[in-house]
Structure 1
């Protein structure tokens, strides 16, 4: 090869990348097995929804994962790095309907297209483990897990309120309700009570909360988000007798110390006691109208929209068991049925929300907690005082501090038989029913004689009708009579299939387990393979999944452990939440019109350039600001590496051994830079995967190796530097590095090389510059050996000619030494 010709040519990335991608695929380079003596490392990016095309967010996410996978292989780990498709769900159903094709056809076409895109990026996946959640060989095992959970009491069915479009005859997700109407047909959406299936995730609430303390490899903000979502509250469950009735109204409060200050009750609009409370009362019509309006308003509101606090009197009263006072019962739009009991004791003086409600409706405000050193008067209060303090107007508990009073009042309630200590959670059971087509059919039947009957495992999978041929009716299952009609497995009489499908979060809650042996045809999970590979060592994905997906995956892991499939408590040891890709000040999206197509970039610059830019532009946890010049810069750098290596191929014929004693200054400098780079790149990767700084270090080494020097560079030193560049850069830009490695005459693949170790002695600087100050002002500089100790630095500073002239006969008060940086002489 002519070094002169190569020096002026740009490298042919299309040919190079195609050659190596074909070789990796043909030789199954990244295929792994759990039967290995090597330490394992499982790196996983959240699998994509097959929308049709990958975007720059995908490129960034998968490039991060691929660098980690390649780096760990070079460190000697047996690395599992799989890929699959989160393929069920309403978006596919809607998109298919829009273009007039079957959801199966739309989904599988997208998978094929996106698979080719990912392969064009040179990602080191074990493609033999590829799975798609919409395939029967995946969801049949999900159906079996459903039956196991049902058998162990972890699933139940109950009636719940849903958003219903009568015109489309379907349930709508909250985001499909636009200004109170159906997004598809513009008809008014109404609340409807329907039966649905629920997973008992609340059975694991305490463990899910406590085990957050073990997730030291997760971002603290994600742990906090999960902790808040679970929302543990400790307090008093207390019964307030309803006036002129044998029923009671149960409330939960975390502030039992304020129970003497209750002036009204607030109930959620869905509270089951409301009908009895308002029945026959003059307020009945107004309460009914208020409830209907509140439910509709909540449906139309966005999730983060704060509604004006409103309520209506039911006409009924309850009795405060501690004071005997009559307490009016209101329905309020801000009370959630999902939290506590759906009933809240209102203490306006010590809760801001109650304070505002009381002012609006002219309700009493009663002070029962006085902050230390203050004397509150209800008539002068402009806001609630929510801090703890000393109890007043609280009977025998007056004079106690809040903390002591809380325990005493709970004990008194228990003794009186009206209450008890209680723990509640914000976390609700997981509603998994979806009244759609494109999802996993639930494997039970409804029989008029036998009730709800689970199907035998031998009947699985319950196939989604028409999905195998991607033809025929793909209406919601409850609109498909041929699917519904079946036979009861217990009595052999006519029965009806369950027409709900599973929430797509179910598929993504255990896919990482199935990856450990996705070809297993006898059970959902290969316990031996799962025991070897799990937990996932490094999980990578967007922070938008910080709550639900991660929480559900944690729940599933614990549930599968209890069913005997797994031996671990948590699914993901380390979590990296990468930032978004931003262009023109906004997240890239079609709606914003600021999308950059990765296909076009790969076509113009090559996969290595696109990968390198996505890794170099920002630390992985930060948002990446798109920059066209940054892509150009990454391309120029790779071309420079190509020219540098091909222009110096002769150095690779020299022996690798370096004679340190014979090195000139330029060669010694490059040798030192090489080992410093190995150290710094390794530290950058090991420290939170800061690939941007790692790439910067490699660029510095390339600059040093390409620098013109007066002295000739020792060829063994140059060879070491160039081989180090290729080895360190390989995880980020694998195609070009593997190509140059072969051009340099190596028989072995760079893929199989060991990550280099640095020589700490070689990495030491020969000399460093130390600043000398007098009273904080720079007066001189010293060139000293890098390992000079503090005592010697003091002596050299005082002996320095400039310093000696300035200090004269003055004896320093003290001398401050910052090792390897400065000496400050204080006169």
Structure 2
């Protein structure tokens, strides 16, 4: 009987939605389970076959949980603000809202065609005013608690997108979105004080079930270090404060470096003898991105600050101050002490400018390769620190600095506060107004949402201001505080805003009184399992954890962390092994795969293609094997016999299959779970029959992977109800133990053969069988066996002489 996948898959997708079988209930007596995948940005290109890998894997988990008796929330929505829609709108003279709605419709139809068990009754869209009302509300709370502030600062400016980028959005010195040059520009920006949460963002990782590489990326991005802040006096009476992780090397500090933007330059202009040279250098540095200044700069540049010198606080000697762009004003204090004897960067600089180099750790000659030993040596040329280990010296020097009042212990972070302004149209309006009398004033919560006005042009102004800056009727308003004239903020929020809390809105998406009810938040929090791409394990994960911790602090959410478990998936590559992209011509459209092979086949192949955490190339040949598997499952209706029990021939295999598939789903080993079901199917066909009980078990186990064919077979065979109504099968531990096991046979540690023995064999029985093995006998003949080593259940090793 031919399997008409197109007709059957459409039938079940419509039936699932009609009956709401995947709709979560906020008032269930069942235990809850919240499964989540990162919601997509709905681009005009639609999905390619790489996108469903994450959705399908967590769909399998969600379907299994429902069969295990959980009330499962598995939602989907759209991260729809952002530059791509706006750029398209600019180019084609169409409102980004229209573009977004069209793209969402296409994405949704593609996802539904895959048979994913999303609860579409909870669909959200970050561009919907009823949604971004609460994004604005959260911003107001951040402002009221001192975590949102306005600051003049040098920012990354994309010369093509004409907008501010966070440091994280600049990759290799160019815009990560469009690839255009990024330059530095001074603008007034809204900032979020994420650094105030840095310590908690690191420490609380210990309590979470995140894959280790995700935790490592989070810790590295936050970049916690311990050291000291040290004050260097100067010849103009100004103290230059530096942060250093190595205060023990102070006796080796032979010069200082400040960032070109350091305020000391403007403060002491009259004392700087080469001011024109310094200002010209500052101007040149402003044209470079942070990445160019720190990562790409191999050749060190700088200008000596003539007329002002610093004083080393432990030697009392004067040392020169340089201005160099490899020091950033945004990191630490914008000034460093340079120890060229033990830092490659400082060494290169000192060599170029012929500055003193003093060794203070070790005892050997200074060379370009001496820096590796800085952590383990003993102090030299360091007065009262001489002979101490590095750790002893750190402790002693910090005590000395504290006693002299010129330093103290300090914990520092690489993480910077979050630049939250964007000079674009297609984003959430920032609900603030500026009054000459009152300063910045928040919009009353009763006036939310502040809706985006219609504009004639989506182009940013030539000076880089937002398109909203041209909307004078919208801008001019009254101050909520004093009633006087005021102007609205024309910057909008970054795309990260809506995605920093979207998982909470899924819990209660239609609530117009609060972002979600306390009851819903209490019931569903936290997300039990969250999967997404590795590219989002720093920014999105950090931003959303920060927002959630803040909401916890003000009593909005009941847990301090949003996600209990986080996993990440590898990409599906093109058949040529390269990342899928239109420019490479290797994009595969899932619509074509579903049309030719069916959704179940595509789901199975996406999971069978390889290790879930690793990238894997698409194979048009291999997908045919998954289609064949679906057809063979459909053919089982010709082999089914009466009886709800397991036959003697398949009993052990069935119990082993239940255990294997159950365990593999929990560990995202979907490929080996599918392989096990394929092997089981071969056993069934070899046996020539399958009982109704065995087939029911197989269909339930396979259902999360291939839901359409399993539901249809269940109905055709009149098993009663739906697969979605059934309970996940349980295995008997006694029936998953192998009757026999394979033992490796070694001679002097080298594998020579294997032998199959009864699983319950004791040591002597295993050794007896090993001694009688023909290959072992031949290889040990005439030699002395001096020792017999038996590792139960694994190996026998004969140690021989001669």
TM-score, scaled relative to structure 2:
0.92
- The change in CA–CA distance for 1:358 and 1:238 in structure 2 (over 3 A counts) is same
Q: Kindly provide the CA deviation profile for residues 392-429 of structure 1, in whole angstroms up to 9, marking residues without a partner as x.
A: 33333333332222222222222222222222211111
1-structure distance, mates of 2:748, 2:164: 76
- The change in CA–CA distance for 1:304 and 1:43 in structure 2 (over 3 A counts) is farther
Specify which of 488, 491, 511 is matched with residue 502 of structure 2.
511
Specify which of 60, 71, 75 is matched with residue 64 of structure 2.
71
Q: Kindly state the Cα deviation for residue 474 of structure 1 after the two structures are TM-superposed.
A: 3.8
Contact in 1 for aligned 2:38/2:532 (Cα 8 Å)? yes
Instruction: Give yes or no for the alignment of 1:500 onto 2:491.
Output: yes
What is the match of residue 276 of structure 1? 267
What is the match of residue 464 of structure 2? none
Q: Kindly state the Cα deviation for residue 672 of structure 1 after the two structures are TM-superposed.
A: 2.2
1-structure distance, mates of 2:582, 2:782: 75
SS of 2:649's partner is helix
- The change in CA–CA distance for 1:779 and 1:489 in structure 2 (over 3 A counts) is closer
Q: Which moved more, 1:384-393 or 1:35-44?
A: 384-393
Specify which of 753, 757, 766 is matched with residue 730 of structure 2.
757
Specify which of 338, 342, 352 is matched with residue 334 of structure 2.
342
- The change in CA–CA distance for 1:451 and 1:433 in structure 2 (over 3 A counts) is same
Specify which of 579, 591, 601 is matched with residue 570 of structure 2.
579
1-structure distance, mates of 2:447, 2:58: 39
Contact in 1 for aligned 2:645/2:693 (Cα 8 Å)? no
What is the match of residue 393 of structure 1? 381
SS of 1:344's partner is strand
Q: Which moved more, 1:569-578 or 1:385-394?
A: 385-394
Instruction: Give yes or no for the alignment of 1:239 onto 2:219.
Output: no
- The change in CA–CA distance for 1:775 and 1:551 in structure 2 (over 3 A counts) is closer
Q: Which moved more, 1:174-183 or 1:548-557?
A: 174-183
Contact in 2 for aligned 1:391/1:402 (Cα 8 Å)? yes
Contact in 2 for aligned 1:436/1:501 (Cα 8 Å)? yes
- The change in CA–CA distance for 1:300 and 1:804 in structure 2 (over 3 A counts) is closer
Q: Kindly state the Cα deviation for residue 729 of structure 1 after the two structures are TM-superposed.
A: 1.0
- The change in CA–CA distance for 1:93 and 1:178 in structure 2 (over 3 A counts) is farther
Q: Kindly state the Cα deviation for residue 810 of structure 1 after the two structures are TM-superposed.
A: 11
SS of 1:251's partner is strand
- The change in CA–CA distance for 1:55 and 1:167 in structure 2 (over 3 A counts) is closer
2-structure distance, mates of 1:756, 1:180: 53
1-structure distance, mates of 2:49, 2:274: 58
2-structure distance, mates of 1:705, 1:808: 45
Specify which of 118, 124, 127 is matched with residue 125 of structure 1.
118
Q: Kindly provide the CA deviation profile for residues 527-564 of structure 1, in whole angstroms up to 9, marking residues without a partner as x.
A: 22112111111111110011111011111111010010
SS of 1:528's partner is helix
Specify which of 430, 446, 449 is matched with residue 437 of structure 2.
449
Q: Kindly state the Cα deviation for residue 116 of structure 1 after the two structures are TM-superposed.
A: 1.0
Q: How does 1:114-513 map to 2 (within 5 A)?
A: 114-163=107-156, 171=164, 191-215=184-208, 217-243=209-235, 245-279=236-270, 281-298=272-289, 301=292, 305-315=296-306, 316-369=308-361, 371=362, 374-376=363-365, 384=371, 386-466=374-454, 472-475=456-459, 476-513=467-504
- The change in CA–CA distance for 1:305 and 1:646 in structure 2 (over 3 A counts) is farther
Contact in 1 for aligned 2:184/2:288 (Cα 8 Å)? no
Specify which of 20, 33, 40 is matched with residue 28 of structure 1.
20
- The change in CA–CA distance for 1:208 and 1:806 in structure 2 (over 3 A counts) is closer
2-structure distance, mates of 1:472, 1:751: 51
TM-score, scaled relative to structure 1:
0.89
Instruction: Give yes or no for the alignment of 1:608 onto 2:600.
Output: yes
Instruction: Give yes or no for the alignment of 1:698 onto 2:689.
Output: no
SS of 2:287's partner is helix
Q: Kindly state the Cα deviation for residue 775 of structure 1 after the two structures are TM-superposed.
A: 7.7
1-structure distance, mates of 2:589, 2:491: 37
Q: Kindly state the Cα deviation for residue 747 of structure 1 after the two structures are TM-superposed.
A: 1.7
Q: Kindly state the Cα deviation for residue 787 of structure 1 after the two structures are TM-superposed.
A: 3.1
Contact in 2 for aligned 1:352/1:383 (Cα 8 Å)? no
Instruction: Give yes or no for the alignment of 1:57 onto 2:36.
Output: no
SS of 1:586's partner is coil
2-structure distance, mates of 1:181, 1:783: 61
Contact in 2 for aligned 1:815/1:825 (Cα 8 Å)? yes
What is the match of residue 686 of structure 2? 707
- The change in CA–CA distance for 1:390 and 1:171 in structure 2 (over 3 A counts) is closer
Q: Kindly state the Cα deviation for residue 78 of structure 1 after the two structures are TM-superposed.
A: 1.4
SS of 1:247's partner is coil
SS of 1:317's partner is strand
2-structure distance, mates of 1:256, 1:25: 65
Q: Give the length in aligned residue pairs.
A: 788
What is the match of residue 546 of structure 1? 537
1-structure distance, mates of 2:176, 2:675: 52
2-structure distance, mates of 1:368, 1:804: 65
List alignment gaps of at least 5 residues for structure 2.
460-466
SS of 1:506's partner is helix
Q: Kindly state the Cα deviation for residue 256 of structure 1 after the two structures are TM-superposed.
A: 1.1
What is the match of residue 707 of structure 2? 734
- The change in CA–CA distance for 1:412 and 1:720 in structure 2 (over 3 A counts) is same
Contact in 2 for aligned 1:705/1:718 (Cα 8 Å)? no
2-structure distance, mates of 1:86, 1:318: 51
Q: Kindly state the Cα deviation for residue 199 of structure 1 after the two structures are TM-superposed.
A: 1.1
2-structure distance, mates of 1:580, 1:178: 21
Instruction: Give yes or no for the alignment of 1:674 onto 2:654.
Output: yes
Q: Kindly state the Cα deviation for residue 806 of structure 1 after the two structures are TM-superposed.
A: 10
Contact in 2 for aligned 1:525/1:565 (Cα 8 Å)? no
What is the match of residue 463 of structure 2? none
Q: Kindly state the Cα deviation for residue 826 of structure 1 after the two structures are TM-superposed.
A: 6.2
- The change in CA–CA distance for 1:154 and 1:727 in structure 2 (over 3 A counts) is same
1-structure distance, mates of 2:114, 2:79: 20
The RMSD of aligned alpha carbons is 3.1
Contact in 2 for aligned 1:338/1:426 (Cα 8 Å)? no
2-structure distance, mates of 1:517, 1:438: 25
SS of 2:316's partner is coil
- The change in CA–CA distance for 1:770 and 1:542 in structure 2 (over 3 A counts) is closer
What is the match of residue 597 of structure 1? 589
- The change in CA–CA distance for 1:588 and 1:341 in structure 2 (over 3 A counts) is same
Q: Kindly state the Cα deviation for residue 181 of structure 1 after the two structures are TM-superposed.
A: 11
Q: Kindly state the Cα deviation for residue 389 of structure 1 after the two structures are TM-superposed.
A: 2.8
SS of 1:87's partner is coil
What is the match of residue 19 of structure 1? 11
Q: How does 1:619-638 map to 2 (within 5 A)?
A: 619-638=611-630
- The change in CA–CA distance for 1:395 and 1:453 in structure 2 (over 3 A counts) is same
List alignment gaps of at least 5 residues for structure 1.
1-5, 659-666
- The change in CA–CA distance for 1:261 and 1:172 in structure 2 (over 3 A counts) is closer
Instruction: Give yes or no for the alignment of 1:525 onto 2:516.
Output: yes
2-structure distance, mates of 1:789, 1:177: 61
Q: Kindly state the Cα deviation for residue 612 of structure 1 after the two structures are TM-superposed.
A: 0.6
What is the match of residue 94 of structure 2? 101
- The change in CA–CA distance for 1:791 and 1:179 in structure 2 (over 3 A counts) is closer
Select the structure of larger CA radius of gyration: 1
1-structure distance, mates of 2:439, 2:776: 97
1-structure distance, mates of 2:613, 2:736: 30
- The change in CA–CA distance for 1:657 and 1:495 in structure 2 (over 3 A counts) is same
- The change in CA–CA distance for 1:258 and 1:178 in structure 2 (over 3 A counts) is closer
Contact in 1 for aligned 2:242/2:333 (Cα 8 Å)? yes
Q: Kindly provide the CA deviation profile for residues 137-158 of structure 1, in whole angstroms up to 9, marking residues without a partner as x.
A: 1111111111112111121111
